[in-house]
Amino acid sequence: MDCVIDNCVKEIVEKDLTKYCKKHEIASINLINEFEYWLIAYGSDYTMKNYLERIVSDDDINKGMFVIEVAKYRIEQQDWN
């Protein structure tokens, strides 16, 4: 089975645990882990939605290509967890 990200033809790394290929899975884990630092920085009102939208849309922030793709996918899926 292919990774759920658009145009990614790589296989899912572990079918029962994730829907991403290896690189997108690492990007996804990094996104989740780093959110904690964003929460500390901006306060507890800051939401996952704010976070993902900022990651995707702010051109002045340097971020990985795979991170943007996962963030876009989560926004499309309205996955705010």
Partner 1 sequence: MLAKYNITLPKYIENEGFTLGLAEKPSAASKIAKFLDKNSKQVIIKVKRKQNGKTNQLPEQIGHFVNTEKGKMFILSAAGHLYTVVQEGVGWQYPVYDFKWSPKYQKKKKKDITIHDMRNEAAVEAIKHIANMASDYIVMTDYDEEGEVIGGVILSQILGNKILDDVKRMKFSTLTKNEINKSFLEAVEGNLMNFGMYNRGLMRHYLDWLWGINLSRALMHSLKNTSGQYLTLSTGRVQGPTLAFVSERQMKIDTFVPRPSFDVNLTINAKDKINLINSKGVLEIKSNADKIIENTIGQVAKVIDIITRTSKKNPPEPLNLSKLQDEAHKYFSITSSRTLQSAQRLYMEGVISYPRTSSQKYPSELDHDFTLSEIAKIPGYKKVAGEVIELKRKPIEGKKTDPAHPCIYPTGVQPKKLTGNDKKVFDLIVRNYFSTFGDPAIMENNRINFDINKEKFHLTGRRTKILGWKKYAGRFTGADDKELPKFNKGDNFKVIDVSLNEKFSKGPAYYNDNSLRKKMEEEEIGTKATRGDIISSLFQRKYLRGKRIEITPVGEIVFQVLSTYSAQVVSVELSRKLENMGDMIENSVNNLDGKFSLSDAMVQGLIMLHGMLKELQENERKVGESISTELQSQRKIAQEIGGCLTCKIGTLKIIRSTLSGKRFVGCSEYFNDQNCNTTYPLPQGGMLETTKELCKADEYPQVKVYPGGRRPWTLCLNPTCSLREEFEKRKKKLKG
Closest distance of CB 40 from partner 1, Å? 6
Beta bridge partners of 11: 2
Q: Which of 13, 38, 47, 53 binds partner 1 (CB under 8 A)?
A: 38
Tokens 């690189």 identify what position?
23
Contact between 1 and 12 under an 8 Å Cβ cutoff? The reply is yes
Contact between 70 and 5 under an 8 Å Cβ cutoff? The reply is yes
Using CB under 8 A, which residues numbered 41 to 60 contact partner 1?
Answer: 41-43, 55, 60
Q: Which of 50, 57, 61, 79 binds partner 1 (CB under 8 A)?
A: 61
Identity of the residue, 38 or 75, whose beta carbon is nearer to partner 1 in the bound complex? 38
